[in-house]
Chain A
Amino acid sequence: DAKTTQPTSMDCAEGRAANLPCNHSTISGNEYVYWYRQIHSQGPQYIIHGLKNNETNEMASLIITEDRKSSTLILPHATLRDTAVYYCIVRVPSGTYKYIFGTGTRLKVLA
């Protein structure tokens, strides 16, 4: 499985866009990029995933670079409730079906 690298922590002002980067330089052509977040003492929550095209849903946007070696999760208007640990995961589409979590980015949204 490809490994991911994320900053340990980030701050963002409430109401501003939060841009969370992720490097996955060893990603293969058939591996999907997933984003989850975990609010304190809860289970991880699915946010979004993509293969090579940019994706948007009601929670966030996912921008994947053309070479697929990095991606950015964008929360367009961060609120205090978005304070959480955000995990970027690269998942192989066959074989073991594993989701390999790293240590994530701790995002703090400031009032």
Chain B
Amino acid sequence: DVKVTQSSRYLVKRTGEKVFLECVQDMDHENMFWYRQDPGLGLRLIYFSYDVKMKEKGDIPEGYSVSREKKERFSLILESASTNQTSMYLCASSLAGGGNTEAFFGQGTRLTVV
């Protein structure tokens, strides 16, 4: 089974802190994604990566950056956390190969910024 593991289930951080959310997948997938999920807004794509050191902005990249130094690991960084970044964060991975490859999701990290 594909496993996508997010480092924390719950996090509480203070405003202005630098926050790292880590995601690791064990299936040698080329593509990795970070989404955030908020009530009434569904899942929104923050960033995705299609290879090591390669990244592209999603729909809501402002206030976030990412790092992919190794194929299996994709990190989401909140440079200076703000209360409007309180959300559920979901990581996913998939094989390359276009539209015929399903994505697998982690269990999510519920981040609260106080």
Identify the A interface with B (CB < 8 A): 30-32, 34, 41-46, 49, 51, 87, 91-94, 96-104
Contacts and interface: CB of A to CB of B under 8 A. Distances in A.
Interface in B76-103: 90, 92, 94, 96, 98-100, 102-103
A94 to B, nearest CB: 5
B105 to A, nearest CB: 3
B99 A93 contact: yes
Given A97-B94, A98-B48, A104-B42, A49 B102 contact: yes
Interface residues of B, number: 28
B94 A102 contact: no
Contacts of A31: 99
B99 A92 contact: yes
A96 B50 CA distance: 9
A54 to B, nearest CB: 16
A97 B31 contact: yes
A44 B90 contact: yes
A103 B102 CA distance: 19
B26 interface: no
Interface string B61-81: 000000000000000000000
